[in-house]
Amino acid sequence: MTPLSWIYMGIVWTIILTLNVFCFYHIFKKKKDVSDDTDAQE
Amino acid sequence: MLKGRGDGWATRFGLIMAMAGNAVGLGNFLRFPGKAAPFGGAFMVPYFITLLLVGIPLVWIEWTIGRHGGGYNHGSTPGMFHRLWSNRISKYLGIFGVLIPAMVGIYYIYIESWSLGYAWQTATGMYWGKTTNTEMGAVFNNYLGKSDSFFSFSPQAYFFFLITFALNIFVFSRGISRGIEIVAKYCMPTLLVLGTILAIRVITLPPIEGRTISDGLAQIWRIDDWSVLLKSDIWIAAAGQIFFTLSVGLGMVHTYASYLKKHEDITMSGLAAGATNEFVEVILGSTIAIPAAVLFFGVTQTQTIASEGTFSLGFFALPVIFQQMPGGQFFGTLWFVLLFLAGLTSSMAMFTPLLVFLEDELQLTHRQAVKYVGIATFFLMQPVILFMNHGLLDEIDYWMGEFGLVLFIAIETVLFSWIYGMDKGWKEMHLGADMKIPRIFYYIMKYVTPVFTVGLVVWWFFDSLSDRILMTGVDADSRPYLWLARIMMLGMAAFLIWGVHHAWKTHPKFLDVAETSEEKETP
């Protein structure tokens, strides 16, 4: 692996991991918000 | 419960895991390294371009078509396409979305069962001592019962096939929330853990004869020759891999999405499922098979192994490697269990469009649908198993898993982006959306995705389709078996054509068939 290859792989991995964190953070955050709202109504 | 119609998804996490599980399959761990390695690092360039321009847009398009059709109680693409385009031909075009996954499922379950059989063989050390690729090739042929005889049959392979088939039928019979969702919720995290353990094990392997894991990773990530990007092969291979890995063009995403309600998010959920699949394929899939093979065999031999076919790497080379690795029996068993779980989460989606078609359009009960699908597919699987020697499986794979899939994608993108209209499609996609899709994707979905996919079908037509139709170069002995495969596919297609014709004549929901897509707003 050349330094450029490591950088290329690092960028791609970072993008994919960030995308996963972004999606699941929002999905679980929304789920928590919904359950908090439900608790408050009760 | 997320319940658009009938049975439904109990949780959003369950839905995303099922969608991701549908996408994560044998292709992520076997097909992807096999496709990438022969091209070196250059493969990843067209891979990411087609992912962005075609793959991700298609995911959103299919989720949208599915949820839209589900609003009319359609769980399969004949009805969904009918609601997008009121032309009488549209429902018949939708047949591909039921036919393709069912026919792919007929051979996929058998392949999935090999992983289970090999997990057993590895755990018990049955092939231990066979330390060359040639010897492992013989073990593989022996496992499948491949020989010069008329039938290819082995009691051991058949036993594991029966277990796998029964497991799939059991999951179908429990429906979406109590079957598919539960399996996905447990299997997907397990698969991620197993994949991570194996990837860490491979990355931490010590150098062998001067070769390091870095040399293996270079096969995926180092671009030595940019000129290969000018060849059509690499683009076709990358596009095919993207379609296959995201499980688009198979009608399964549509069916899963049809259980969503009109205002439930699909943009974020679709992206999450796609991102999970890419994590498994690009990060885990690229870190296990190829780097390990390069470390033990060197670059040249790895490229040869990868170009020999999808199974050479996973079923010949890796078992050889596991035998030379510390703790190899344990990690080898994990590898095949991982493959089995990846296969299971995909195969359980493959017959769902057919089951739902029988229930929604032909008004069968769930129990009846499971019974008929179980019996019919079991009988259709027998020629695939028994005549594997004669290319029957490859013939079905070509017409359904390769050409049919691309054709169906071209049809659905044209239907959605041009006939239904991208303005309406974009609006429909964003109903209840948790994320606004960047506007540039509007233009990509409107122009790039359909032009690319139609172009691919046209290229295919001129490049090799006539040779395949006429069986050019196929020896006379194999032709009857290829015809048998074609009769099986045409038989299933004929049944579906009859089913659509019958449903549209008899089902009460089609008696107001004059309804067009403009009248859709109140499902």
Confidence band of B375 (pLDDT split at 50, 70, 90)? very high
Would you say residue B1 has pLDDT above 50? Answer: no
Query: What is the C-alpha to C-alpha distance for residues B19 and B30, in angstroms, rounded to an integer?
Result: 20
Taking the CA of residue A15 and the nearest CA in chain B, the distance in Å comes to 10
CB contact under 8 A, A5 and B275: no
Confidence band of B523 (pLDDT split at 50, 70, 90)? very low
3-state helix, strand, coil in chain A (%, to 5): 95, 0, 5
User: Which residues on chain B are in Cβ contact (under 8 Å) with A6?
Assistant: 221
CB contact under 8 A, A31 and B269: no
pLDDT for the residue numbered B515: 47
pLDDT digits (tens, 9 = 90+) for B145-170: 887 777 888 999 999 999 999 999 99
CB contact under 8 A, B283 and A17: yes
CB of B36 within 8 Å of any CB in chain A?
A: no
CB contact under 8 A, A5 and B276: no
pLDDT for the residue numbered A35: 59
Confidence band of B87 (pLDDT split at 50, 70, 90)? very high
What is residue B208's three-state secondary structure?
strand
pLDDT digits (tens, 9 = 90+) for B468-512: 899 888 888 889 999 999 999 999 999 999 999 999 998 887 765
Confidence band of B420 (pLDDT split at 50, 70, 90)? very high
CB contact under 8 A, B217 and A1: yes
pLDDT digits (tens, 9 = 90+) for B19-32: 999 899 888 998 89
Query: What is the C-alpha to C-alpha distance for residues B105 and B184, in angstroms, rounded to an integer?
Result: 17
User: Which residues on chain A are in Cβ contact (under 8 Å) with B282?
Assistant: 12-13, 16
Q: What is the mean pLDDT of chain B?
A: 90
Percent of chain B clearing pLDDT 70 (strictly above):
96
The tokens describing B320, both together, are: 């050889």
CB of B268 within 8 Å of any CB in chain A?
A: yes
Which of A5, A23, A28 comes nearest B222 by C-beta?
Answer: A5
Would you say residue B143 has pLDDT above 80? Answer: yes
ipTM (interface pTM): 0.87
CB contact under 8 A, B13 and A31: yes
User: Which residues on chain A are in Cβ contact (under 8 Å) with B214?
Assistant: 1
Mean predicted confidence (pLDDT) in B246-255: 95
Please check whether residue B15 is in contact with residue B210, taking contact to mean a CB–CB distance below 8 angstroms: no
pLDDT for the residue numbered B514: 44
pLDDT for the residue numbered B508: 80
Name the range with the highest mean pLDDT among B129-133, B326-330, B439-443, B507-511.
Answer: B439-443
CB contact under 8 A, A20 and B435: no
What is residue B318's three-state secondary structure?
helix
Would you say residue B202 has pLDDT above 70? Answer: yes
CB contact under 8 A, A2 and B222: yes
Mean predicted confidence (pLDDT) in B61-81: 96
Would you say residue B518 has pLDDT above 60? Answer: no
With CA atoms as reference, the chain B residue closest to A20 would be: B275
Confidence band of B521 (pLDDT split at 50, 70, 90)? very low
Confidence band of B513 (pLDDT split at 50, 70, 90)? low
Distances (CA, A) of B76 to B83, B127, B160, B183: 11, 44, 30, 22
Would you say residue B386 has pLDDT above 80? Answer: yes
Would you say residue B452 has pLDDT above 90? Answer: yes
Query: What is the C-alpha to C-alpha distance for residues B427 and B235, in angstroms, rounded to an integer?
Result: 32
CB contact under 8 A, A24 and B223: no
Distances (CA, A) of B133 to B36, B314, B328, B397, B419: 20, 11, 16, 25, 52
In sequence order, which residues have a C-beta less than 8 Å from that of residue A13 and are 6 or more positions away?
A: B282, B283
Would you say residue B520 has pLDDT above 60? Answer: no
pLDDT digits (tens, 9 = 90+) for A1-42: 899 999 999 999 999 999 999 999 999 887 666 556 655 655
With CA atoms as reference, the chain B residue closest to A7 would be: B221
- B-interface mutation test, from A7, A9, A15, A18, most B Cβ less than 10 A away: A9
pLDDT digits (tens, 9 = 90+) for B260-306: 998 999 999 999 999 999 999 999 999 998 999 999 999 888 888 88
Q: Which helix (H) or strand (E) holds B46?
A: helix B44-50
- Provide the number of CB pairs (under 8 Å) joining chain A to chain B: 59
Specify the pTM: 0.91
The tokens describing B129, both together, are: 């001592």
Residues 1-42 of A with CB under 8 A from B: 1-2, 5-6, 8-9, 12-13, 16-17, 19-20, 23-24, 26-28, 30-31
User: Which residues on chain A are in Cβ contact (under 8 Å) with B222?
Assistant: 1-2, 5
CB contact under 8 A, A13 and B282: yes
Taking the CA of residue A21 and the nearest CA in chain B, the distance in Å comes to 9
